[in-house]
Amino acid sequence: MLSFRTTGYNGYGVQYSPFFDSKLAVATAANYGLVGNGRLYILNIEPNGSITSPISWETQDGLFDLSWSEVHENQVATASGDGLVKLFDFTVGQFPVMNWKEHLREVFSVNWNLVEKDKFVTASWDGLIKVWTPSRNTSLMTLQPQIDSITKTVQINQPPMSHQANHQNPGSTANCVYNAQFSPHSPSTILSCNGSSHVSVWDIRSPDMLQLDFIAHGGLEALTCDWNKYKPTVIASGGTDKSIRIWDLRMIDRPNAFGAPSPAYHTRGPSPMNELLGHEFAVRKVQWSPHDAQELMSTSYDMTSRIWRDSSNERARFLNGARGVLQMGGGCRGVFRTHKEFVIGCDYSLWGEPGWVTTTGWDEMVYVWDAKRV
Amino acid sequence: MNRLNQLLGQLSANKADAIRQKNPDDVVIVGAYRTAIGKGGRGSFKDTGSDYLLTQLFSAFLKKTGVDASLIEDVAVGNVLNRAAGATEHRAASLASGIPDTAAFVALNRQCSSGLMAISDIANKIKCGEIDCGLAAGVESMSLNYGPQAIPKLDPHVEENEGAKKCLIPMGITNENVAEKYNISREVQDEFAANSYAKASEAVASGKFKDEILPIEVTIAEEEEDDDGEDKVVYKKVVVDTDEGPRQGVTAAKLAKLKPAFKPTGVTHAGNASQVSDGAACVLLMRRSLAESKGYPIQGKFVLCCSVGVPPEIMGVGPAYAIPKVLQKSGLTVDDVSVFEINEAFAGQCLFSQKQCNIPDAKLNPKGGAIALGHPLGCTGARQYATILRELQPGEIGVTSMCIGTGMGAASVLVKE
């Protein structure tokens, strides 16, 4: 296990470079991302096993996610708390090479298209998903999921944190889009999830871009989603109900004839193909393995990162257990407990022996570890 | 501030909120119903065996809830007085009611907590993935099975042991011991008992039990004089839908006139102890993901059940130890709980348990307890679930508890949804 400390900055996102087997980028934010600066680190894994940071940039607001460019080996796009999307080049110090200001609130995810490598997508708490290309000053298009502020199964009574009048109404998180991911199989398909538990699939070629929309986590917030790298119709989602759910998109009804998403009062949603349970708090990120169609990893507020096996079979659903999704569904294969705070970001290495992963979290640590050995 | 609120929404602030959270692997209650409770010996169920009570309840339950009986993978039935806890006849009852033979069956006996143990057994099996859906129940016919034959015997060698001998102490005497040891006067016990009668008879009169009771049809044998003036037995079919125990106008002053039942100087009598009764209750439990995928309405969430041991000679103090344990294990305090259903085996032990746990009067047995309603031994634990789920508001947390003969206590936590 290798480690690096992002002193003074709490980790939010981490990703292996698609061009160099020894490079990582880490998106961090000071003060747990609640207020203050952010910092983007480029990390080198040295031959002797130490990790060094040749360059890092400070930003005005916390960085919540990053994505390496798929066309330019030196560039990284970041998602920032002040609504900015920035592109950094690690041969250019001090400032980003591009700066896009369109989102009105925190940008929470950024993801590069693996097929049409000139595009990337961002998701923001302003309720919008935007598609960008590095060469243009403005976004290519904007997707807007329907706001569903009704779906919410639990009303949690929080202790008062402040007596100031303008802090009393926390506002709804229903329209916050937490994650948007381009499909690795089809260049124009985007998967997104939001605070009202909806997972949506978009086709940006189609005039009615919304292809599928369903309630994935029983009305609780859907924080993360990812495409299976081998099965084009299989996705995973995770949320504040602590579960990771595996879905076969072919088994989900399309939105009705009017193109509207499933009605807001509909809090149950379809049945997942598999359900992976074990996290003790909300699941913050799920990521399918690039090497194995049945393996995925997750991070959670329970301070662990877990490796899971999903043995459900989308081609022979009758094998998935006659009664429920639990039988023969696979399960947790390893728990990484080294982090001492919320674990937020994770990524699988594309390089070398399959199984190397990296995680980062609020304990200011980046760990590189072997998923086969936890 | 927005970011902090956002994060807070994704985490639960305290243990009570965490318990209220709805997760797909929760054990949830899809339905909890009971029969009316009949008076032992002379009530409507006096000629009905526990197996028929159970058959009628299960049939009515399946009809009422519309649940697909083939989903049930295990049936656990608590019972105290039947031979072998009713292992054979209650399996038969399960089949007779239309539950397919693919559902397994287990008979359970942990004395007065047997009904609760059935719930805990099924819930634990769901929690650890053995089953996805199970039916827990409790049933007792004290009319038919309570009597001299119910008194156990010990091998003389075992009886020599001081501790072992204590297990044979009659329940009434254990309450005398509790009252003496903790100085609980007859006056406060009578007051408590009168209060239980008042709450229960008010609840019966205003129909507060209507929702939890499934009316069932049974046969009663009645002696009638025929035309020639000779006695003959007539069998009548009756539909029973009302508790027979509660009566109006019971006051502490009236109870004060009753003679002590267990020793001449004692404080325990027929009016401040639980009644001898017949009844059955059942609770259908599922994993939440299954209940949601089938679209069954969810009544509540099972959280935790704990049992403790206490000295047999003061077995009534059981709840005073079981309740703190279950609250501590689930990270709750008495203030988080809205309703406590503590079985009133005797007024003395229930009062002691209430005082020991600092439970406010308003939260304890809002519709009366076993002193007024009756205590069909094996049924009680499941009966409390049917009752408490109608007393709690959605989101509120409830606790059920009881003392257990031979020196134990059990308590469980649930959330109404």
Tell me the per-residue pLDDT of A30-64, one tens digit each, with 9 for 90 and over. Answer: 999 999 999 999 999 999 999 999 999 999 999 99
Does the active-site annotation cover B90?
no
Instruction: Judge whether A238 is closer than 8 Å to chain B, CB to CB.
Output: no
Q: Are residues A318 and A258 in the same domain?
A: yes
3-state DSSP assignment of residue A75: strand
* A58 located within any domain: yes
How far, in Å, CA of A347 to CA of B299, rounded?
41
The per-residue b/e assignment along B329-362, b for 16 or more CB within 10 angstroms, e otherwise, is: ebebeeebbbbbbbbbbbbbbbbbbbeebebeee
* A242 located within any domain: yes
Name the domain count of chain A. 2
* A104 located within any domain: no
* A204 located within any domain: yes
Does the active-site annotation cover B403?
yes
User: Residue A272: is it exposed, middle or buried by C-beta count within 10 angstroms (0-12/13-18/19+)?
Assistant: buried
* A126 located within any domain: no
Q: Are residues A177 and A205 in the same domain?
A: yes
Q: Are residues A202 and A223 in the same domain?
A: yes
How far, in Å, CA of B410 to CA of B2, rounded?
44
Q: Are residues A247 and A353 in the same domain?
A: no
Q: Are residues A315 and A198 in the same domain?
A: yes
Q: Are residues A317 and A366 in the same domain?
A: no
φ, ψ for residue A262 (rounded to 5)?
-60, 145
CA A339 and chain centroid, separation: 19
Q: Are residues A89 and A198 in the same domain?
A: no
Looking at residue B273, the DSSP 8-state letter turns out to be B
Could you say which of B90, B306, B357, B375 is catalytic? B375
* A49 located within any domain: yes
Containing domain of residue A318, as a range?
145-163+172-302+305-338
Q: Are A79 and A64 in contact (CB under 8 A)?
A: yes
Tell me the per-residue pLDDT of B375-412, one tens digit each, with 9 for 90 and over. Answer: 999 999 999 999 999 999 999 999 999 999 999 999 99
Q: Are residues A198 and A328 in the same domain?
A: yes
Q: Are residues A349 and A209 in the same domain?
A: no
Tokens 């606790």 belong to: B399
* A211 located within any domain: yes
* Residues of chain B falling short of pLDDT 70: 1, 12-14
Q: Are residues A291 and A363 in the same domain?
A: no
CA dihedral (A271, A275, A277, A280) positive or negative: negative
User: Residue A322: is it exposed, middle or buried by C-beta count within 10 angstroms (0-12/13-18/19+)?
Assistant: exposed
The per-residue b/e assignment along B113-130, b for 16 or more CB within 10 angstroms, e otherwise, is: bbbbbbbbbbbbbbbeee
Could you say which of B112, B133, B350, B379 is catalytic? B112
Question: Nearest Cβ partner of A159 from B4, B13, B21?
Answer: B13
Tokens of B79: 């019972």
Task: Check which CATH number belongs to the domain holding A42 and give it.
Answer: 2.130.10.10
Tell me the per-residue pLDDT of B277-323, one tens digit each, with 9 for 90 and over. Answer: 999 999 999 999 899 889 999 999 999 999 999 999 999 999 999 99
Does the active-site annotation cover B375?
yes
Instruction: Judge whether B130 is closer than 8 Å to chain A, CB to CB.
Output: no
φ, ψ for residue A275 (rounded to 5)?
-140, 125
Q: Are residues A328 and A367 in the same domain?
A: no
Q: Are residues A326 and A348 in the same domain?
A: no
Tell me the per-residue pLDDT of A289-336, one tens digit each, with 9 for 90 and over. Answer: 999 999 999 999 999 999 999 988 777 766 655 444 444 567 889 999
What Rg do the C-alpha atoms of chain A give, in angstroms? 19
How far, in Å, CA of A267 to CA of A259, rounded?
19
pLDDT tops 90 at residue A374: no
**The pTM is what?**
0.69
* A12 located within any domain: yes
- Going by C-beta distance under 8 Å and a sequence separation of 6 or more, which residues neighbour residue A340? A303, A363, A365
